[in-house]
Amino acid sequence: MRILLTGSSGVVGTYVLTYLLEQDHNVIAVDRIPLAQSTLDSLSAKYPNLDDILDVHTVDLTSIEQVKDLFSQYSKGTIKGLIHLAAIPHPESHDPRFVHNTNTTISYNVLYTAAEHGIQRLVQASSVNYTGLAYTTKGRQKFERLPITEEEPSHAEDPYALSKQICEIQAISLCRLFPTISIASLRFHHILPTLSEAEEWSRHDEFWTWTSSLSASQACLLGLTTPQEGKWKGHEAFNIVASDIAWKDPAVSSLDLLEKSEWSEDGRIGQVDTTWWGGDDGKRKGFWDCRKAERLLGWVHTP
């Protein structure tokens, strides 16, 4: 299967690129900066036929003409799926207008052109920050209920969260315009290779949450390949995070952490369904409900 992957030079994009090649797919790797030479060297050593299974393009995805030119190099029907990961990865180090405008523009440019080119299955990187989380002003984060489902409304105030909300709205609109396509928006958070790395930065105001690089990569591919008949069509958002919290002390439960955190002091959480954390096996469960991804994509988190 030939897959076009944007953001391929980023940290997450490199994980996904490597995984796709391992799964015997051909990849068109696209980014505004070239793939790192170390990545190319590593892949060349593993795949003697790399030139046959990997095309690399340097493209400014904010440019309509460059995006159109990219797709025009491939005959319609030869690209079977799109994984769009390109975005501003560290919004706090950029002008808010640049973060918002870049993320929303490149998403529409890429997804619209892919649909126009006849690609039927599309995946885009969204974020649990869709609701307003990591970059929301301290003390203004709020949630209607825990655990958090895909139905939680957005309270976005920062440009990154707002851009993710708009990217999902754009996807809904494109599925109306191109009724035969489907778009999966994957809401990741802090993609890292191992739990031990996740535990190092684990924060209460992000609900001690992370996503393994393997699981994120698996979700991207499942968004393109899982049979949809009778399950879903059009646009769907999916929570894609670890099933358990990232916290070093195994004796501390999720609800213990919640009770001792600022969340319990200022009434920013509406309902807490404590049965979600019931039983010994449930004490360390995370704060995002990922059952929709399991049901519709066949995805489960792999540490």
Contacts 24+ apart (CB under 8 A), 277-283: 277/253, 283/253, 283/254, 283/255
pLDDT at 264: 75
Query: Residue 48 burial (CB < 10 Å; 0-12/13-18/19+)?
Result: exposed
Strands 182-188 and 234-239, bridge-based pairing: parallel
Is residue 262 predicted with pLDDT exceeding 90? no
Is residue 135 predicted with pLDDT exceeding 80? yes
Mean pLDDT of the chain: 96
Helix (H) or strand (E) holding 55: strand 54-58
Q: Which residues of 100-131 are buried (b: 16+ CB within 10 A; e: fewer)?
A: bebbbebbbbbbbbbbebbbbbbbbbbbbbbb
Is residue 208 predicted with pLDDT exceeding 80? yes
Interacting residues of 263 by C-beta distance below 8 A, sequence separation 6+: 204, 269
Mean pLDDT of 251-273: 89
| pTM score | 0.97
Is residue 18 predicted with pLDDT exceeding 80? yes
Q: Do 160 and 88 form a contact (C-beta atoms < 8 A)?
A: yes
Of the pLDDT bands very low, low, confident and very high (cuts 50, 70, 90), residue 81 is very high
The domains of the chain are located at 2-297
Nearest CA-CA partner of 242 in 164, 187, 163 = 187
Q: Do 290 and 239 form a contact (C-beta atoms < 8 A)?
A: yes
Q: How far apart are CA 57 and CA 6, in angstroms?
A: 10
Of the pLDDT bands very low, low, confident and very high (cuts 50, 70, 90), residue 139 is confident
Of the pLDDT bands very low, low, confident and very high (cuts 50, 70, 90), residue 82 is very high
Mean pLDDT of 20-32: 98
Query: Residue 142 burial (CB < 10 Å; 0-12/13-18/19+)?
Result: middle
Is residue 261 predicted with pLDDT exceeding 90? no
CATH 3.90.420.10, domain 2-297, yes or no: no
Mean pLDDT of 163-179: 98
Hunting for tokens 């079977």 — which residue is that?
80
pLDDT at 230: 85
Q: Do 103 and 158 form a contact (C-beta atoms < 8 A)?
A: no
Mean pLDDT of 296-303: 95
pLDDT at 67: 98
Q: How far apart are CA 71 and CA 93, in angstroms?
A: 31
Mean pLDDT of 9-21: 97
130 three-class SS:
helix
Of the pLDDT bands very low, low, confident and very high (cuts 50, 70, 90), residue 138 is confident
Mean pLDDT of 128-142: 92
pLDDT at 181: 97
pLDDT at 263: 84
Helix (H) or strand (E) holding 56: strand 54-58
